[in-house]
Amino acid sequence: MAEATRLIANRAAARRIAVISMHTSPTASLGQNANGGLNVYVREVCTAFSDRGIATDVYTRKQSIEDPNIEQLAPLSRVIYIPAGNGLDKYSLYSEVPSFAAWIMDFAAAEKISYDLLYSHYWLSGEVACLLRPQLAAGWVHIAHTLGLVKNRSLAEGARPEPRQRIRVEGELAQQADLLIASTADEARDLIDSYGADPQRVSIVPPGVDLAMFQPMDRSVARREIRYGSERLLLFVGRLERLKGVDVAIRALGLLRDRQHDDVRLLILGEDSHEGDENEEERLKAIASDVEVRDRVDFIGSVAHHELPYFYAAADVCVMPSYSESFGLVALEAQACGCPVVASSVSGLRSVVRDEVSGYLIDEHDPAMYAERIGRLLADSELAQQMGRRGRLLAQRFSWTRTANRLEELFEQVVERNQALVQAGARQE
């Protein structure tokens, strides 16, 4: 064991990556504020890199006094909490970018750390990376996770548009980063067509799912674990914001109840995103009351990531009426657990859900259409089980091992290319 650790440490000396995740931490509880798929992505990739002997320092901000200064994420990965922007929402964090970047530079200098690569997540972190490069690292890879222009194309009624400042910054990042990672082919096209990115600097690398954690289990066992009985369960997982379309799921439940599905309950996992002055949870509760299903909707709040498989396995249907998704991680987790999915036909969900194979994709945000598809699955248990089995097979195509393998290959190319440029410049001097 000691020899294996020594070998890993020796390998790590050759590659160290600074991972910038300014607005949210890989250790944060899912479904709270801005926490979601990005958190899972950073945690899983850094853990997989650690297994490969690649060291990562994840720079994020302190969000509470309980946050430590440094926390170990994996043997070769640590999270470094920066005291900048505490209490600010993500739209207000832009003003903290210079101090955040300066803090990273000071920390790296004090610890005498050098990095081979910057890996930034989301537009705010990308702006931090702009300030850090090339002083901290010559190479820079960026992943957007979501794109402002794409979100603004299909806003939910009453939703806040993404600010022009974000669109401008995303355009600059698309021009300046050495490599842009897209989760889907649609996202790659948006980077090229809408943001003017060089196609040669865009690579598609789908995220993965932890297939050991997310897998089918006996439904009765799962329901005992989450303290539910024999009633039929619909499940929504995600932050509570208009973008996620939770109101569509609630209205669909109202239509199901009108059609004599009186034993159906909707479980909502996630907390209010607190974007703007609106309280989304209270708005959703009011809608549930208006359609007379308030007694059939449970707002459970955020849950630990390792508890999610019980909810997926307990549910009859996972519902995702999102107006925009860069990648359908929740749908992928649900399918890995054998739960059929009824979702909107947006690009990130089309990449993981197969219509009439592992669930249903719906083009419109019409509660009646959702109620009809959900009703099919509730009325035909054999169909639901068949779709669940197919979903599990589809999910097995996505693994964090595969994601990390491809990222490692691409990152190595960026590092080697930048090293060659530095050496060529030195020879000219």
Strands ordered across the beta sheet of 264-269: 297-301, 264-269, 232-237, 317-320, 341-344, 359-362
Superfamily holding 219-395: Glycogen Phosphorylase B; (3.40.50.2000)
- pLDDT tens digits, 271-290: 887 766 679 999 999 999 99
> pLDDT averaged over the chain?
90
Do the domains 2-207+399-428 and 219-395 sit in the same CATH topology, yes or no? yes
| CA atoms within 13 A of residue 169's CA, in its CB half-sphere | 22
pTM across the whole model: 0.91
Say yes or no: domain 2-207+399-428 is CATH 3.40.50.2000: yes
Contacts of 187 (CB under 8 A, 6+ apart): 144, 147, 150, 204, 326, 327, 347, 348
Q: Residue range 47-66: average pLDDT?
A: 91
Q: Please list, residue by residue across 298-331, b when 16 or more beta carbons sit within 10 angstroms of its beta carbon and e when fewer do.
A: ebbebbebeebbbbbbbbbbbbbbbbbbbbbbbb
Bridge partners, 235 (sequence order): 267, 318
Task: Decide if 240 contacts 156 (C-beta within 8 A).
Answer: no
Q: What is the pLDDT of residues 78-127, one digit of tens each?
A: 999 998 867 677 778 899 999 999 999 999 999 999 999 999 999 999 99
- What DSSP character marks residue 147? -
In this predicted structure, the answer to whether residue 49 has a pLDDT above a threshold of 70 is yes
For 161, counting Cβ atoms within 10 Å of its Cβ (0-12 exposed, 13-18 middle, 19+ buried), the class is exposed
**So where are the chain's domains?**
2-207+399-428, 219-395
CA 132 to CA 127: how far, in whole Å?
9
